[in-house]
Every structure is written in structure tokens, then in C-alpha cells.
Amino acid sequence: MGKVVVMDHPLIKHKLTFIRDKNTGSKEFRELVKEVAMLMAYEVTRELPLEEIEIETPVAKTKSQIISGKKLGIIPILRAGLGMVEGMLNLLPAAKVGHIGLYRDPETLEPVEYYCKLPTDVEERELIVLDPMLATGGSATAAINFLKDRGANNIKLMCLIAAPEGIEAVQKAHPDVDIYVAAVDEKLNDHAYIVPGLGDAGDRLFGTK
């Protein structure tokens, strides 16, 4: 079973409070989502393999470590996942970005695909799927299915807020995928919104209703 890593850093908790607040407008919301994604990138990359190279400082030759040629891919689930891309790229500038367009049908709650553009060598990359919200888990599960159908086999999922139901659904469908979240909330409401959550992440990022 994949692990679930819940961030416990004070900076993440602090910023998440203002992300949740309904009085936070789109500009600040976008900035905060970007910043939390950047802070989470630090944790989600913790296990990247290192290799030692020789360099010369102004004082002496020495051996020092770099990330060992691992190819990364970040995969935002449109739309709301887009809000996390810039923060990730700030720390992982060489990562390729693939996009999966999905929306959740408000009646059936089933994910509907409308776009998919991935790096050609997706099967060779370590992939991090981005979506602020993991509610029923239907969208994340479908996105990971797309990636696996195209040969990907090294996938992590990174979300801001998860419902217990969503974590359970992804773990059941994809037991090989580790899940990184800033918070696990209480439950889903009758419309499958996360409680207390932050509302509709896409609408708050982009100012739509």
C-alpha cells in the first residue's frame, strides 16, 4: 500500500488557513496555492536519488552530491492543478509538464476527460500528479489510469486537501502510488465537496462560478 504523507510544517498550516478562508480573493488565493506547492515540493522530492560528482571550490577539490539524472514530470489535473505548477517548477525547473483535462460531472460525480497531453517519454519519468482537491478520488484515479495506460509506472499524487474517502479510493485503485497532502479533512458533504475544505478550487483560482 502506498504511503500517505501529511505535511506538518507550520508554514504550510499557516498558509492553508488563508487558502481556506472564504474572504481570501483570487489573487491572494493563487499566490498562496503556489507557495504551498513549492513548500510541498521539498517533501515530495525527499527520496530522489543522489550521485556524487567531483567539483572544485575556490579553495579545494571536493566530492559533492547532485540529483542523479532522474527525469521528472509534473502532471496537473486541469483546471485547478494548474495553480500548483509554478510553485513546483520554481524548485524543479527541468521537469516536463503534462496536462490532463478532467472535470467532475456535478450530477454523476464521475470524471469527464477533455484533454490529455503528456511528455512522450512518460514511461521513463518519475511523475507527480497535481490537484489541490482529492474529494471522492474519482478524478485522481482516472488521471493515474491515463498515465499507467501510457506506460508510466512511477507516480506520486500531491494534493492540498484530501477527504478520507478520496485517499481510500486512490489507495484501493493504485496501491503503488504515494499520496502527499497538506491536510486530511473530516468528510464529504452531500455534493461531494470536502468539509471544511476550501470550496471549489478551480473557481477560486480563476474567479469563475
Ligand X SMILES: O=c1cc[nH]c(=O)[nH]1
The binding site for uracil consists of 194, 199-201
Site for ligand PRP in 63-82 (CB under 6 A): 77-80
Burial per residue of 84-118, b for 16 or more beta-carbon CB atoms within 10 angstroms, e otherwise: bbebbbeebeebbbbbbbbebeeeeeebeeeebeb
List beta partners, residue 195.
Answer: 187
Tell me the C-alpha distance between 198 and 124, whole Å. Answer: 35
138 is in the binding site of which of ligand X, ligand PRP, Mg ion, none (Cβ under 5 to 8 A by kind)?
ligand PRP
Does 200 sit near ligand X (CB under 6 A)? yes
Q: Are strands 4-6 and 194-195 parallel, antiparallel or unpaired?
A: unpaired
Q: How far is the CB of 144 from ligand X (least distance, A)?
A: 17
Does 202 sit near Mg ion (CB under 5 A)? yes
The site for ligand X (CB under 6 A) is made up of 80, 133, 135, 193-194, 197, 200-202
The site for Mg ion (CB under 5 A) is made up of 200, 202
The site for ligand PRP (CB under 6 A) is made up of 77-80, 102-104, 109, 111, 131-140, 166, 192, 200-202
